[in-house]
Chains A and B, each alone.
Chain A
Amino acid sequence: MTAARDWRGLLFALPFLALYALILIFPLMRGVWLSLNQVDLFGDGHFVGFGNYARLLHDPVFGTSLVNTFEVTLMIVPPLTVIALFLALALNRAGKGAAIIRGIFFSSAVLSVTIVTLIWRFILAPDAGLLGEAWKTFGWQPLPFLSDEHLVLPALALTTIWWSLGFPMLLFLAGLQQIPEDMYEAAALDHSSRWTTFWRITLPSLRRTLVLVVMLQTAAQLQLFGQSQLLTAGGPSGASRTAVLFLFEAAFGRWELGYASAAAEILFLIILAVTITQYWATGRATGADGGR
């Protein structure tokens, strides 16, 4: 292939790349620059080097928000993945019944975060919520999900899992449909049990889907924001403040543009590191049986 031809390939990617550079990379770079300045929304600001970053390191509120973000991600991603996989296995069949139930499990995904949190407030609020009422019928004291610092993150996780099930479930369903029938036939000849078939055939075949789901969900949940802002405003006492809520408050509430940008860059680097680590780890663990 000639060099000229090489460059022509770029033409196909160019429309996207040009917009990408203008609307995402440029603002990202501008964010990096802002993070090195002390600047508010309207001021000219002045250069402070890594001052904002140093300040962040000593800001316990930011530290707590990072810890909260990790905790809530850990509470969401594993159960979400397992439940979605289980649902896909159970619902991977023809028939009206399965189709309807698939639809139901996907239905929550069409709601916007505003609506999701509004609905879940009614479920979680201890004095008026559905869960509280259910608890009371068993004669138990309703749990203060939104006001207890140890329960609030699980409550956010529960809400998020309910909301986000649809997408991973669809990914797994799709993955299941790609497994060649003859692999199962071979297993049948060996008189393998369902469990053996699952561990030997289904799960290995779903490996890439699994990696994809975990990576996408991890990256998404590390950016969790709306649920925390709308359901608890980050409370009680900051126990449900996530990193994105922190930077949102800094930017829109306190107009601390430089400080918020620095927090954003740190979060960006963390998500990047986590994603790359996951990719690398899963790539090594499963590298033996190839794939591209």
Chain B
Amino acid sequence: MPTVAANIRRGRLTPLGWGGLIFGALIMVAPLLWTLLLSLKNNSELVGHSGAALHGPYTFENYVAIFGNSLTTRWLLNSAIVALGQTAGVLILASLAGYAFARLEFPFRRTLFVIVLLGLAVPSQAVILPQHELFAWLHLHNSYPGLILPGLVAPFGVFFMTTYMRGIPRELDEAAMLDGASRWTIFWKVIVPLTIPAQSTLAVFTFLGAWNDYWWPLISATRSDMYTLTVGLAAAQMNYAQTSGLGYLMAQAVFASIPIFIVYIVFQKQIVRAMAGAALQ
């Protein structure tokens, strides 16, 4: 006999429910399809007639133009390095710190944790200028470390890993401790493997944020061979881009979103599983 729980979790949604969902999904997806169609149109055809996107002829010329720019692949590479570097860095730092805050006792633990949480309330625009000044002193502008480092101090990662690790039964590491394992061994051999789902979630969101970041790379990477994709594509536009190069702009949007979309699809299952841990502890 199917239980109510099964009914809620796997059971049938009424046709009305499905209808509503599909309607909502259409609302969500319509602007994206619109973007895709615009990206496949000749630019001058769109000046003053964006409705022209609803019918042919369609063309790949905007995508060809993106790749025709010799620097595009370089920007793609820079974005990948920065996003992957930031993701790796956040995972390492946040896991270590999360473990410390969730499991270990040390002086000022609570105070330090609260100080980290305060960071959630700091608007990034509020610190961007002093940060720029700092990185100028350290001669880190126009370099990969300069692009990666500011993203590593996001407090959300630490908060997320701490709550997730608190949800892991203490019996597991206490058993390991009785076997004489060091803190480091417990962290590396017991805790980290258990947090893989959380790591993937954090990875996806860090990657997403790093990939789409605009203001920091804009003022830190001022040499075009160090641009990330977001900055490079913005610079490639003419000054009144919204009016003259609409198709090109939309092609850029599609092009820049593809890598993240792939990341999401690959990690979709882990993300949902991982959120569970963090959200409920």
A9-B104, A177-B272, A185-B3 are known contacts. Are A19 and B152 too (CB-CB below 8 A)? yes
Q: B130 near A34 (CB under 8 angstroms)?
A: yes
Residues of B within 8 A of A197 (CB): 4, 8
Q: A6 near B105 (CB under 8 angstroms)?
A: yes
Residues of B within 8 A of A54 (CB): none
A57 near B: Cβ within 8 Å?
no
A93 to B94, CA, bound (A): 31
What interface size band does chain B fall in?
A: 35 or more
Question: B interface vs A, CB < 8 Å?
Answer: 3-6, 8-11, 13, 17-18, 20-22, 24-25, 28-32, 34-35, 50, 92-94, 96-97, 99-101, 104-107, 109, 112, 115-116, 118-127, 129-131, 133-134, 149-150, 152-153, 155-156, 158, 166, 183, 187, 205, 208, 211-212, 214, 230, 234, 242, 249-250, 253, 256-257, 260-261, 264-265, 268, 271-281
Question: A interface vs B, CB < 8 Å?
Answer: 1, 6-13, 15-17, 19-20, 22-28, 30-31, 34, 41, 87, 89-95, 97, 99, 101-115, 118-123, 128, 130, 162, 165, 167, 170-171, 173-178, 181, 183-185, 187-188, 192, 194, 197, 202, 205, 208-209, 212, 216, 219, 223, 225-226, 243-244, 247-248, 251, 257, 260-261, 264-265, 267-268, 271-272, 275, 292
A to B CB contacts below 8 Å, 27 in the list: A6-B106, A7-B107, A8-B183, A9-B105, A17-B112, A23-B131, A23-B150, A23-B153, A27-B127, A27-B134, A28-B122, A90-B17, A92-B8, A104-B29, A108-B28, A108-B31, A115-B253, A119-B34, A119-B253, A121-B242, A162-B28, A184-B4, A184-B9, A185-B5, A197-B4, A247-B126, A272-B121
Q: A113-B214, A264-B125 are in contact. List 4 more A-B contacts (CB 8 A).
A: A13-B101, A28-B122, A122-B34, A219-B121
